Copies of this chain bind each other. A is one copy, B any other.
């Protein structure tokens, strides 16, 4: 069911500082910042040869990243996004196996304009999993 790792997402308290570190210190290529108000984040993508790292900064008062950063003020690893061919069939299979989908269980549209869902980290050993239909 799981396809490619689309991205690994890291929450950071200050996106400008993180861009500087990934560009200058780590020598990576970083995209222009994008605002995703419906997800409560400002994001950039670090382009690696085989996948991407998404750097997330909170946007707005109710950002889910703000709550994460309150627990991890310096930042931290936030989620892994796996690609799936059919997000509805993937969801139905997971729900049938007893896994919990976050929110209302219906896909939202992610940073790439594709349908995404998040799975409860308690069902996956503390790792928040995003599924993206590609």
Contacts and interface: CB of A to CB of B under 8 A. Distances in A.
Name the residue in A3, A25, A26, A74 with the highest tally of chain B Cβ atoms < 10 Å from its Cβ: A26
| Copies of this chain, whole number | 2
Contact of A77 (B74, B122, B127): B127
Interface in A64-84: 72, 74-80, 82
Contacts of A21: 123-125
Contacts of A122: 74
B124 A72 contact: no
Interface of A: 1-5, 8, 10-13, 17-18, 21, 24-28, 46, 48-51, 53, 72, 74-80, 82, 93-94, 97, 99, 121-127
